[in-house]
Structure formats: structure tokens, C-alpha cells
Amino acid sequence: MRETEFAIVGAGPAGLSAAIEAARAGVQVTLIDENDKPGGQLFKQIHKFFGSKEHYAGVRGIDIGVQLLHEVETCGVEVMLNAVVWGIFADHTLGIIHDHKNLHLKAKKILLATGASENALAFPGWTLPGVMGAGAIQTLVNIHRVLPGRRVLMVGSGNVGLIVSYQLLQAGAEVVAVLEAMPKIGGYGVHASKLRRHGVPILTSTTIKEARGKGKVEEAITIGLDEHWREIPGTEKAYQVDVICLALGLTPLSELAWMAGCQFDYIPQLGGHIPVHDANMETTVNGIYVAGDVSGIEEASTAMEEGKLAGIAVAEALGYLSAAEAACKKEVVLRRLDELRSGPFGGVRKQAKEQLHQQRCSQ
């Protein structure tokens, strides 16, 4: 069995940030990812980030990714790619399939930074080729430079739905409409305005009713909803499209946290069942930490700060940072997280996070 001081599962923004922070303090770090490249979803995010300057405001996700990878390379982190973590055992041992071989890795501390998966929506015809997740579109268009269709209907007007719609326009596709079941647009006004300026209608109180086509999507039927979410007969509209894109939010990928015996709480504002954690990002299981979307769906910017917190906390717990040094570093990160979680969108998440922290502390 192999051993390491700090094993991190997931090399997205949270995992990379944690690795850098801990390794800089002197911790031996093993960063594990199932993909053939690190970076998680950062390299698909070709839009500019919001927030303060410390938060990479105005910088595109792809450029942040390049920067983080460079830092990871220079601070001596062991990066294990094409490695799927299939299990986690009581003695902090991970079961890993790496390059088709099974191995066990025992760690003093473990960070689960496994991210999230996209929510789907079942409607007649939703299994037809051409119905895809927004993440799929981002991956295909922004990384592989392939447009899976020419005319797209977007379902969901959260930030992902709005941003991916705009990215589709940038890539040369037509977005016939963005649907939103709620009575108002889900995402930031600035993203919605960009679409509107390009003449893309955002239809609120409207949802997808059916996808039709022979062997693949050829037509989408939409329908209006009343204030009780009931379909309004007679409001159906048909759109000739070859792609229906689903941007319906994310659910934390928390299997390993369940397996480890972490206590969970159901917090809809954060995407569902969330492992309870404290301000150090430590779960109810000693030595197991969470950061990024698995600890509550937010954004890449918050994921990076949470990763740093976990990295600092682990370095402190392993004796690489004094309590005073750690407190000082944490304070800076916590202040930035507070800034990111302000305003009408962030405020809701801040409250939900505090609820989780209180639960952990009251134990």
C-alpha cells in the first residue's frame, strides 16, 4: 500500500487550490483525477469571472486554469491522472483504479473535491440524440471545437444556461430561445442582457414539453406555465432545432462522502444533500475534508477559496503551520469568501453555508 500525507480527490479549481496551499506549507500532496488532464471544468469557462481583483475578476476561466496548473507543477505536488477513486475506507485509505490497475493509497488527511454532476429533466423525447447537458455543449464547443448542432433551444436561464447560450453564439450557432420555468430569469442580469442584445428571447414561465424527431432531435415543443407550475393548454409552440440543451443546475458528486460516513444535511439552495462541514471544510468524519461544488453548489471562484481553506487547515493539522500562521492565512480567505457571497445571489448561499457550519460546531 502506498502512503501520502494529503490525498486530494479531484483536480478542479478546489482541488488545485488546496494542493498548492498545502504543498507550499510543506505538506506531501497527492492530487488524483479521473481525467487525462487536470483543471476540472475550468478550461471550459471562456468567459470572464466576476468579483474582486483577488478573485481573478475579468480573467477567463481558461487562463486561471493555466496559472493554477503552473503553480501545482512548481510546488512539488504529485499529480495522478486517469485515476478513478472507487472507494474510501475507515482508515483513510482510498481505493483507486489507475491506468487499469488497482491500488490503495493511505493518507493522513483526505480532501474530497469531486465537484458536481448536471441535473437532467425527463420529458417525452428527452433521450433522443441532440438533447444534451449544458456542460456537454461547453466541453464540445470550447475544448474540442465541435458544434453538435446549428439551432439550439436552451432550457434553463441560470448563469450556466445564459453563459452557454452566449458561448454557442460565439461559436456560430443560433440560439432560438432560452426557457425558464420560473417567472423570472435565474442568472445575472449582465449575462441575460448580452443575449438580449443579440436578439435571443428569454421566455419565462415556459418549459419544454416534448422533443420530437426521427432518430434525433428535429423539433422542440414548449409550453407556458401558470403561477402553480401547471401547463397552460393552447400555449404550445414548436421550434425547429437540432439541439436541446439542458441547463438545470447541478447536484454534488458526494458518493465518497456518503461512503466515508459523513453526516449530510439537505439544503436545496446548495444543490441538495451536502456533507456537513466546519469553517476549515472538515466534515463530521475526522480528517476528511470537502471543498468546491461537493460542499454546496457555488462557483469556481468560491471553490478556489474553499480549496485554499482546506489546504491551510490540513497544513495546520499536520503541524506545518502554527495556529497563528494558519489563522492569519484563513482570515484573508474568509474575507474574500464573504465578498463573493454578498449580494442577492451570494447572500442566500452564505446563509446556507453558515447553517452547515453551525451544525458541525454544535456536535
Partner 1 sequence: MRVEEHPILGEMKKPNVVEIEVDGEIIPAIEGEPIAAALLAAGKSIFRYTRKRNEPRGVFCAIGRCTDCMMVVDGIPNVRTCVTPVRAGMKIQTQHGLGEFGGPLS
Rounded to an integer, what distance in angstroms lies between the CA atom of residue 312 and that of residue 327? 9
| Phi, psi torsion values for 77, nearest 5 degrees | -85, 135
Round the CA-based radius of gyration of the chain to a whole number and report it: 21
Residue 144 touches partner 1, criterion: CB under 8 A: yes
Does residue 237 touch partner 1 according to CB under 8 A?
no
131 touching partner 1, by CB under 8 A: yes
Minimal distance in Å, beta carbon 319 to partner 1? 38
Beta carbon nearer to partner 1, 115 or 311: 115
11-40 residues near partner 1, rule: CB under 8 A: 34-36
Instruction: Choose between 143 and 279: whose C-beta lies nearer to partner 1.
Output: 143
Among 26, 87, 95, 148, binds partner 1 (CB under 8 A): 148
| Contact predicate 32/135, CB 8 Å | no
Minimum distance of partner 1 from residue 154's CB (angstroms): 16
Cβ-based nearer residue to partner 1, 26 or 148 = 148
Do 140 and 146 form a contact (C-beta atoms < 8 A)? yes
3-state secondary structure of 79: strand
Which helix (H) or strand (E) segment holds residue 336: the answer is helix 323-340
Verify binding: residue 128, partner 1, rule CB under 8 A.
Answer: yes
With contact defined as beta carbons under 8 Å apart, do 356 and 297 qualify?
Answer: no
Nearer residue to partner 1 within complex by CB, 217 or 313: 217
User: DSSP states of 163-182 as a string?
Assistant: HHHHHHHHTT-EEEEEEESS
Torsion of CA 120, 38, 168, 48, to 10 degrees: 110
Taking CB under 8 A as the criterion, the residue among 104, 198, 216, 230 binding partner 1 is 216
Q: Which amino acid is at 349?
A: R
Stretch of residues binding partner 1 (CB under 8 A), selected from 15-23, 94-102, 155-163, 165-173: 165-173
Q: Does 127 bind partner 1 (CB under 8 A)?
A: yes
Q: What is the DSSP letter of 294?
A: G
Asked if 117 touches partner 1 (CB under 8 A), the answer is yes
178 bridge partner residues: 154, 202
CB of 132 to partner 1, least distance (A): 6
66 versus 147: smaller Cβ distance to partner 1: 147
- Give the DSSP per-residue string, 216-265: S--EEEEEEB-TTS-B-TT--EEEE-SEEEE---EEE--HHHHHTT--EE
What is the pattern of x (binds partner 1, CB under 8 A) and - over residues 291-320? ------------------------------
Q: Which residue's CB is nearer to partner 1, number 253 or number 340? A: 253
Least distance from C-beta 215 to partner 1, angstroms? Answer: 5
Query: Between 172 and 234, whose beta carbon lies closer to partner 1?
Result: 172
Q: Is 150 in the site for partner 1 (CB under 8 A)?
A: yes
As beta bridge partners, residue 72 has none
Buried-state track 11-38, b at ≥16 Cβ within 10 A, e below 16: bbbbbbbbbbbbbbbebbbbbbbbeeeb
Q: Can you tell me which of 97, 147, 318, 334 binds partner 1, judged by CB under 8 A?
A: 147
Closest CB to partner 1 among 114 and 284? 114
Of 144 and 197, nearer to partner 1 (C-beta) is 144
**Could you tell me the maximum CA-CA distance found in the chain, to the nearest angstrom?**
67
CB of 94 to partner 1, least distance (A): 19
> 211: which strand partners?
220
- Strands 219-224 and 237-240 come out as antiparallel
CB closer to partner 1, 3 vs 118: 118
Residue selected from 132, 247, 260, 314 as contacting partner 1 according to rule CB under 8 A: 132
Distance CA 7, CA 29 (A): 6
Residues forming contacts to partner 1 in the complex (CB under 8 A) are 34-36, 46, 60, 117-118, 120, 127-133, 135-137, 139-142, 144-148, 150, 170-172, 215-216
